[in-house]
Amino acid sequence: MKTRIILPDTDGISEAGAILRSGGLVAFPTETVYGLGANALDTVATKRIYEAKGRPSDNPMIVHVASIDMLNGVASGVTDAQKAIMSKLWPGPITFVLHKNPAVPDVTTGGLDTVAVRWPSRREAAEIIVAAGVPIAAPSANLSGKPSPTTFEDVAEDMDGRIDAIVKGEQTVIGIESTVLDLTSDVPTILRPGFITKSRIEEVVGGEVKYDPSLFQKPDSDDFHPKSPGMKYKHYAPKADVKIVEGDKAAVHEAIAKLSAEAVARGIKTAVLDYEGKGDEAAVRYFANLRQLDRDGVDVIYIASYDWDEVGFSVMNRMVKSAGYDILEV
Ligand code: TXA
Ligand code: MG
């Protein structure tokens, strides 16, 4: 299949909308990462997403909307309390899990009776959804298991020849995927941490917010039952081995210097990622850095982990998975 490259000008946006409406697959930038979109109500189109990504079909997709009308078409029984929370955080990098509207096919939600919905704030994404006129199912536009794409080049690397079109925009500004917040449980529960943090959500909710306990467990532990099916799969893995070195700043630097020197002496090509605990910066650069280090042929990546701020916790959630839970405490 020849993949068209579309620019996000007026003509490009309406072309992207038309392809989506007629059942095609289009990758486009959002504020978090690039998404791979299809008409969320079209069973054949959404099945093609799983094929293009090589994604397990029990892993549900986020449905992207650009109006309250569209939200009402995919969710059901949305309460005023839920609407009040959503209106304070949307459009933006947060996804809400709600009760599903029967109009949404099972392929989109992986057979769950809930649906994950997001209203993105990035101009191109919102305009494409409006142009399509239908809600858009869009997982991250990477091959399953690889780091999410934050640049046009990253999307092209994984998806060229596999999908109908890629909308070519600038690098994404947030860099990690949206926070996923379950609003169907008694206490709102964070299923995937993101740029919108727990304390920000607590401010908006005006009450308690929980983390899904599985965020603190290894997938091989007996009581690991994440509510977000996606959290159980291998994720964010570059070709290189990733090792996290965690502790006090000075100790981390000392340990990485020693490990790197030993590796280099054995002819292993190493790199170090050190964001100095700054979560926002780490979020923007992490996935792009992983992909670049793969292109550079690096064998082992050491991540310096210390003094993380709140968004840092969300980035660490991805880093731990990239590392396959290989964490050295120093
Ligand atoms: O920022 C983002 O969220 C990006 C952009 C493109 O919007 N999308 C994205 O989609 O990250 P994806 O498919 O890579 O991740 C969706 C996550 C998965 O972990 C999935 O299991 C979870 O959301 N999810 C989807 N529907 C769910 C549901 N009904 N209940 C619980 N978790 C759900
Ligand atoms: Mg993904």
Mutate to test the pocket of ligand 1, among 172, 180, 195 (most ligand atoms within 8 A of CB): 180
C-alpha of residue 194 to centroid of ligand 1, in Å? 12
The pLDDT, as a whole number, for residue 69 is 95
Protein residue whose Cα sits closest to atom 6 of ligand 1? 35
217-276 pLDDT, tens digit each = 888 777 778 888 777 666 888 999 999 999 999 999 999 999 999 999 999 999 999 999
142 vs 306: CA distance, rounded Å: 29
The pLDDT, as a whole number, for residue 90 is 98
Protein residue whose Cα sits closest to atom 3 of ligand 1? 178
C-alpha of residue 206 to centroid of ligand 2, in Å? 30
The pLDDT, as a whole number, for residue 120 is 98
Q: Nearest CA to 166 among 2, 275, 5?
A: 5
pLDDT for residue 318 is more than 90: yes
How confident is the model over 201-223, as a mean pLDDT?
91
- Which tokens sit at 297? 């042929």
For residues 158 and 34, the answer to whether their CB atoms sit within 8 Å is: no
Sequence-ordered strand ranges (E) for the chain? 4-6, 26-29, 34-39, 62-64, 94-99, 114-118, 136-137, 165-167, 179-182, 189-192, 210-211, 241-246, 270-274, 300-305, 327-329
CA dist 133 → 39, 87, 101, 260 (Å)? 9, 21, 17, 52
How confident is the model over 284-297, as a mean pLDDT?
97
Residues in contact with 57: Cβ distance below 8 Å, sequence separation at least 6, in sequence order: 47, 50, 107, 110
The pLDDT, as a whole number, for residue 256 is 98
152 vs 172: CA distance, rounded Å: 9
Protein residue whose Cα sits closest to atom 10 of ligand 1? 139
- DSSP state for residue 140 in the 8-state scheme: B
Radius of gyration (C-alpha) of the chain in whole angstroms? 20
Q: For ligand 1, what atom is nearest to the CA of residue 34?
A: 6
C-alpha of residue 55 to centroid of ligand 2, in Å? 9
141-158 pLDDT, tens digit each = 999 999 999 999 999 999
Q: For ligand 1, what atom is nearest to the CA of residue 174?
A: 1
Which residues does ligand 1 sit against, CB inside 6 Å?
30, 32-33, 35, 59-62, 95, 97, 109, 112, 114-116, 118, 138-140, 177-178, 180, 191-192, 227-231
Protein residue whose Cα sits closest to atom 29 of ligand 1? 115
C-alpha of residue 314 to centroid of ligand 1, in Å? 15
30 exposed, middle or buried (CB, 10 Å; 0-12, 13-18, 19+)?
buried
67-120 pLDDT, tens digit each = 999 999 999 999 999 999 999 999 999 999 999 999 999 999 999 999 999 999
23: left (phi over 0), alpha (psi -120 to 50) or beta: left
The pLDDT, as a whole number, for residue 233 is 66
26 alpha carbon, closest ligand: 1
Cis check: omega of the bond before 91, within 30 degrees of 0: yes
Q: What percent of the chain has pLDDT over 70?
A: 99
145 alpha carbon, closest ligand: 2
For residues 63 and 139, the answer to whether their CB atoms sit within 8 Å is: no
- Which tokens sit at 90? 């949307």
